[in-house]
Each structure stands twice: as structure tokens, then as C-alpha cells.
A and B are shown apart, each in its own frame.
Chain A
Amino acid sequence: MQHTLVALVENKPGVLTRVASLFQRRSYNIDSLTVGRTENPGISRITIVVDTDQNSAERLTAYLLKLINIVWVEDITEKPMVSRDLAMVKVSVNPSSRAEVMQLVDVFRARIIDVGNDSLMIEITGSEEKIEGFIDTLKPFGILEMVRAGVVAMGRGANPLGDPRVNGNGSGKVPT
């Protein structure tokens, strides 16, 4: 099944290489990997989606924790959380299909961000399922180009990731 892992990493050169190299070395397939800044300038946040079983996911978490520059890792798949992906889709339109596509954009609460003579560029944010659904719906019109940003995820509630009050049970490294 798909596992969503979230890691806090030190903002140092080569950290992403270490993570990517680990996946290759241990034969894990990455479905999605995103890196971004956080509220702390010294710390970046990596969200990884992998398709693997529970035992392998636990070991992957342990392998990631072994990397010196990784401060915290958690498999949040089973926890209350929100995950979002963003896609930009350029779809082919003609005078007769344009209105229909715009209607679909409304239904999916997507946004049109560029309009051409025979194309529309659409931005959509949401869960993986929602984006997959939207893309399937657009396919018959002809998708000219598409890019997805990758999944980012966050646990629900007030406690931030890595908070030892929640996670300091020996299941991971406790940030100091």
C-alpha cells in the first residue's frame, strides 16, 4: 500500500542526495518526493510517498533515521492527516468544447490560470484522488502538457511534527 513519510532534515548540501541514494540502494520506488522550506530556516521538510508493505515502511523509516542529517521521520499514513498535491494541466479546447471544460473546472474547484486560442491552462489543488479524477475527466479533450508538484502532507491538530510530547516514545529521534 502507499505510505506517506514526512521527514525534517537539516538544511545542508547533499541531504536530498543522501535520501534519494538511500531509496536506490535499498530498492524502494518513490511515488512522490517533495522538498520545501519550513517555519525554521535551518530545517527543510521532505514528504515521501512510497508503495510498499508495512514491514518495509518501518525499515525505511529506520534507514532514514540513521542518516545523520535527518532530524525526524514519521510514517503518517495511519494518522489523522491532510495531504495535498498540485497539478497544472494544459488542455486542448475548441469553440465547442471550451464551455464544457470550464464547467468541469468549476465542478472540481480548479482554476483557469491561462487562456490560449485553442488551449486552457488549469491549476488544481487537492488530494491525489481528486487530481486523478480531474485528469481522467480531461483526457477525452486532449491533455497537451501536465506537471504535478508532488504530495505534501501534515498531521491534524495543534502538535507539530516531531513534537516529543506526542512522539517521544522511543519510536524516533527526539529533536533537542
Chain B
Amino acid sequence: MKKLNGAQIMWECIVHEGVKQIFGYPGGANLPIFHHLTEYPIDLVLPRHEQSAAHMADGFARVSGQVGVALATSGPGATNLVTGIATAMLDSSPVVFFTGQVGSHLLGFDAFQEVDVIGITMPITKHNYLVTDVNDLTSTIREAFYIARSGRPGPVLIDIPKDVQSAVIEWEYDDSPIHLAGYKLEPALKAGELGSAAEMIKQAKKPVILAGHGVLLSGAMQELKDFAEKTMTPVAVTLLGIGCLPASHPLNLGLMGMHGEAWVNQAIQEADLLLAFGMRFDDRVTGNLKSFAPAAKKIHFEIDRSEINKNVTVELALIGDIGESLRQLAPHLEASDRSDWNEHISDLRIESGKRDIKNLKTDKLHAAHVIHDISLLADPDCIVVTDVGQNQMWAAQYFTREKPYTLVTSGGLGTMGFGLPAAIGAKFARPDAEVWCISGDGGFQMTQAELQTLKQEGLKVNIVILNNGYLGMVRQWQELFFSRNYSGTPITSPDFVKLAEAHGLTGLRITQRSEIEAAIRKAQETEGSVVLEFKIEREDMVFPMVPTGAGLHEMIRRPETLP
């Protein structure tokens, strides 16, 4: 037993969870927490805004597979976290947030910097806690980490009033088993379910696997590969599923959905069986539900029961961890050939490839060239972090990913400004890895203050800004669906080269296709972070595109000639 206060107990518990890296911003209501931080073997990164702290912890979690931790003070500190919490929630990312709160005797009195953070974050956390008794702190923190990382992962927030941080008790770590009456992980699959799934798979002539984030969260990459190879089933991936199977694997079709490649969506529409592995039939994946895969029976492998029959009605649901489900299913599977089906998809793929801008001759600087060239020249083991919008879709289409956990992107919430701070978090998760942040001129400006965090931490991240002077994805929609009325989308930018230099970093500007390679090499060789501004074609489009309300087969294809 030792005498500790709440702040010390909090750090003791965090150390017990194996945390070494945190991201946080101090303030009046978490002063005791920051005061005692220096007593513990934990490294703090100070962002320039609490939203960035949240994205950093999220990026760290997605790359490391560990729980990310972010701290903020009460009131505005807590509300600034909100976008980052929601981002983590929509993408099932395990992050534990700690917010300071005004003293418990002041709760409800509209005290300075008081906000009901529990009420605000209730719908955007997996669970949240207000701790009003220092004796509850240890069990609360242990539960929070357990909830964040288990089952379908997600963010958990703990709100700690200042007096609880200062309250002293006789303390020792309690490592008794965590008991949560209302939190049970899904039981094992039943033999009958496995038999029916195996039979449906055996009968299928044109099956397609839809592999999502769940495969990565479960670490089921090998199980997915074994399944696909044994049954010769092609694999379409969701945005967050990228990396679950190497891009070069012959059965990996690539990205599906709104900006998926034509052959992938065509294969899904023609399929007679869809095997959804840890994905949730998001609207960006399915297009119009009425015409989604009309000929296909569907089997949903999913850990979250509430996702079953939410968007797409399925014939069979296998509820549980995808890795565990696939291991149990494996002995029931029969090897098959399915060469007709795979050859048919190959033909579709060859036809589509002819339209790809990266294969067309032009001197103009198109985003596709930029990403394609970086993809060829970057360390194959590098980590790619994207912002949101056209840059994100180009990165998903052209930055080939061979390994899991090497693409970090805000999928569900689509949070602009996510890229740079998440890249910083990713760099802390794998300090030896080359990290590329791909963003647009709009999203980059939302969190550009984090350039100084890079400087303060002495980090090396290569930041690509695809500058087209527009909020490009919104402009694309305006061009296609709102009669080119570019309302609110033109955006000016500072001189990014000078901006980088002002932050003590290196800036490069690239305006010609012929300059791309040299710039990439220069960025790789330069010590410290580099900002690479690419002045791309202003009205570049992301194709293919499935317009909202259209079916996957009604996509707008890439033009066969250059614009």
C-alpha cells in the first residue's frame, strides 16, 4: 500500500496498461494530472489543438494495434476533442480519452470551463465514465481500456473532476478479473451455422469476399488469405480494409464502392454469393441498396450483432470475431477452382486498365501521377496517412499497400484535418517507418498548426499537399450534380514552402510531372519533415464514381481519353 492521489493513481493505471506514449493538452482542470506526469515513464506529445491530440492517439492506435491515449482539460479542451472522438467511434478505433473536470462540488453550477462532456460524448463513445470517487478510479480505468480494445473496439472517455485528481488514498493496484455484468463478448459459432455457410460457399459459382476493417482489427490476415486461396474467391476491400491482403495478391481485386475500380464493382454486381468479412455495408460501399448485388446471397461475418440486417438483409449471419470464425470454418471448406469466374474478372480488369490516367501519356500534373510515383519510390513498408476528400480517394486507388496497418484514413466520419495529426500519431507508433501524409490544400489548412509539433518533436514525416485551389471533392460534386456552381469551394493557400520554412521544416513546390521523382528523392533524403506542394490540375476528378442513389453498376467510368 502506498499513499497516492487521484492523478498518480491514473498514471499508475496507465503504466499498468502498457502505455508509453500519450497526446495531450494541459489546462486548469487537469493541472494535478500534468504535475504528476513527470514522475512516470510516459512520453507526452503536445499538439497545437486538442482535436489533433485525438487524431494523433487514433493514428497511433491504428498503426500500433495498441490503445491510444489522449488528454484534455475541461470545457473547451473537452469539446475540442469531440471531432476526434467521433472519428475514432465511426472507425472502431481503440482510444481512451481523459478529460479534466471542474471540482465535483461545482458540477452543474456552470463553473468556469465546465461542460457536460459525458452528455456530449455519450453517442460518440463506446462508453464513458464520470469518476466522482477516487476509490473508483482504478477499476474505471481498467474497464475503460478493456472496453476500448475488446469486441468491436472503440473510444472510451473518462471525466475526472479536479478534486478527485487531488484526493489522497492508501492504494495498491487491483488486478482482479474485470467483471462487467452488461458486457459479454459473443459466444462461439454453432456447428449448424458453420455447415450452412460451408454449403453456401460450395454451391457458389461466382463468390466475392468483401473484406473490411474487422479483418485488420481481428488480425485475421492469414485466415482471410487461406480462405480466399482454398476457395479461389476474389477479395474486394473496403477503404478501411486496405492492407488486409497484399495489393499484389492475384485474388485481391482492390477497393470497392463509390470510388472503387470498375471491375471490383462489376464483380460484386454479378456475384452469386457475397461473403462480408468484418464490414458493415456502409452506403459508400453499397451504392443504391435496391440494386446492390441483386443475384447474390449474402453471408455476414460480423462481431457486432447490431450490424446484421441493418443496411443489407443477409441469408446467414455468423456473429463473432472474424479470425475466430474463419478458423472454425476452415475445416468445413472444400477446395475449389473457380477459374472461369476469376478469368472473367481479369478480363474486366484489363478493359478498365486502359482508361487509367497513370497509363496515359501527358505532361500535365495529375494527382494520379503524383500518388502513383510516390507509391513506386516510397519504402514498400511505409505508412500512408490520408486526409479526406479527393486526396484520400487517389491515395486509396494509387498508393498500393502490401502490408496491414499501413494505410490510415478517416473512413466513417470523413474528417478533414485528420491527415497531419494522424500521421504524427502513426510516426510515434512506428518511429522507424517512412511516413507519407497525403492531403489536399483544404484539409491540410485545418490542422496545419501541427507542423510545429513535428518540429518540436524532431519528427520526420513527408507531407504531400495536392493543391488544386479548390475543396476538390465538393467541387467535383458541384461540377457533376450542381451545374458547376462552385459555391464556397475555391480556396486560397499560404505559400506552403515559406510556411514549412517558417516552422523550421523544408518545403518543396512541384509544378511539372518531370519534377515528381526528384522531389520524392529529395524529401526522402532530407533530415526532418518535408512539405511537398504539388500544383495539380485544378479540375482533376476522382473516377470511377458511383453517384449517390445510383447502383454500383451505374458508375461514371474514367474517360477513355485525357480531359
Contacts and interface: CB of A to CB of B under 8 A. Distances in A.
Interface string B290-331: 000000000000001110111001000001000000000000
A36 interface: no
Contacts of A170: 186-187, 190, 319
B361 interface: no
A17 B116 CA distance: 13
Interface in B155-203: 179-184, 186-187, 190
A21 B118 CA distance: 12
Given A68-B180, A70-B182, A18 B122 contact: yes
Contact of A62 (B118, B127, B187, B305): B305
Counting chain B CB atoms within 10 Å of each CB, which of A66, A67, A71, A176 scores highest? Answer: A66
Contact of A68 (B123, B127, B310): B127
A66 B179 CA distance: 16
Interface string A6-31: 00011001100110011001000000
Contacts of B108: none
A84 interface: no
A105 interface: no
Interface residues of B, number: 25
B309 A71 contact: no
Interface string A100-119: 00000000000000000000
Interface in A71-107: 71-72
A88 B97 CA distance: 47
Contact of A65 (B122, B126, B305): B305
B182 A173 contact: yes
Contacts, number: 54
A66 B304 contact: yes
A10 B181 contact: yes
A69 B182 contact: yes
Nearest to A43: B181
A67 to B, nearest CB: 7
Interface in A126-176: 170, 173-176
A107 to B, nearest CB: 45
Question: Dominant SS at the B interface?
Answer: loop
Nearest to B187: A170
Contact of A67 (B182, B304, B305): B182
Contacts of B488: none
Contacts of A70: 182
Contacts of A65: 305-306
Counting chain A CB atoms within 10 Å of each CB, which of B119, B306, B310, B313 scores highest? Answer: B306
Interface in B352-389: none
Contacts of A58: 309
B396 interface: no
Given A10-B181, A17-B119, 4 more contacts: A17-B122, A62-B308, A63-B306, A66-B304
Interface of B: 118-119, 122-123, 126-127, 130, 147, 179-184, 186-187, 190, 304-306, 308-310, 313, 319
Interface of A: 9-10, 13-14, 17-18, 21-22, 25, 55, 58-59, 62-63, 65-72, 170, 173-176
26 contacts: A9-B182, A14-B130, A17-B122, A18-B122, A21-B122, A21-B123, A22-B123, A59-B306, A59-B308, A59-B309, A62-B308, A63-B306, A65-B305, A65-B306, A66-B304, A66-B305, A66-B306, A68-B182, A68-B183, A70-B182, A71-B182, A72-B182, A173-B182, A173-B184, A174-B184, A176-B181
